[in-house]
Amino acid sequence: MAQAAIYSAILAAGVIFFSAAVAQTDTPAATFVATQPAATQFVLAQSSDPFSALVGKRRHRPATRAKRITIERYVLASDDRALLFEDYSNEARIKFLCGPDDLRFDCTIDPEDPAAEIYLVKPTRGPRGDLIYKNAEGDTMMRIASYGGATVFWPGEGRGLAASKSFGDDATLRLGFAEYATAMRRAQAATAYVSAATGAPIIFDLGAAPTTEHENAAVLGDAVIRAANGVKDVADDPTGARIIASRINRVFFAPATAPGIELDAGVLKIRYVPGQDIDGRPSSAAVAHFLEETL
């Protein structure tokens, strides 16, 4: 106690001395401290903030850590179908997993490597505090209530389905590595399927093969399935199938600096960006919406 009292008295004296000394000179405070002996500098430095003697050294907060991305698994209450949800706060990714008897186009076009679509969605706040996740075309994919319950709009279903969180050690929702042969296999399957659906030959053309061996063709392979699925969705309607057959004879895939879709002289051109994951290709909904607006 005695030592603490003595130390406090020294600090108080230092404050008085420092204030008086600075008041009697035009020298800035920082310069004045620097001209004093080492011991005096220590006392003045300590006394420049008199409250530091009471609260101790100021603690610096560590840098804010980046938010850890988590993959959540949801299972439908009506059956065992499951989906993965990856949240980034300002956007999210959803993947409706392929099941053993899943007849969706994504899950059947390439039996060797089923490729359920990864949807990029953005949240909006609902009237009751719910988070509603929609894709770029405005389609609602999922709703998470403020109390934690979820409603899922499964592809091909006409209504929302209740779902609850489950458990699983799932990988992040990214496109895995794919050989060019995978993209070629999918293009051949898409050619056969879409041609049959429209009643006219429509070739899925990948353009020139890559010049380097084992190049990652993940975005190209995914773009093929998304384009084929978008064309199929429009062709499911007889009128849409007839119009597609009369207006399109080839679907051509071209690398570019930005993803996009255009139609010119019977060629549906799909622009994709290698190395940009799902951001580098048009979604199936984007392809279907383009065709509905253009044809």
Residue 111 sits in a domain whose CATH number is 2.40.128
Rounded Cα distance between 173 and 83, Å, is 11
Q: Is the pTM of this model over 0.85?
A: no
* 215 domain residue, yes or no: yes
The verdict on 80 and 144 lying in the same domain is yes
The answer to whether residues 124 and 134 touch, using CB atoms and an 8 Å cutoff, is yes
Rounded Cα distance between 187 and 227, Å, is 10
The verdict on 10 and 116 lying in the same domain is no
CA dihedral of 256, 109, 289, 153, whole degrees rounded to 10: -120
* 62 domain residue, yes or no: no
The verdict on 190 and 258 lying in the same domain is yes
Q: Per-block average pLDDT, block size 10, for the chain (295 residues)?
A: 47 44 48 49 47 51 58 94 94 96 94 94 93 96 92 94 92 95 97 97 95 90 98 97 98 98 98 97 98 95
Q: Is 78 helix (H, G, I), strand (E, B) or coil?
A: coil
Start-to-end Cα distance in the chain: 89
The verdict on 186 and 287 lying in the same domain is yes
The verdict on 107 and 84 lying in the same domain is yes
The verdict on 28 and 87 lying in the same domain is no
* 172 domain residue, yes or no: no
Domain enclosing residue 199, as ranges = 180-294
pLDDT of residue 266: 97
Residue type (1 letter), 33? V
The verdict on 160 and 226 lying in the same domain is no
Domains in the chain, number: 3
The verdict on 158 and 213 lying in the same domain is no
pLDDT of residue 127: 85
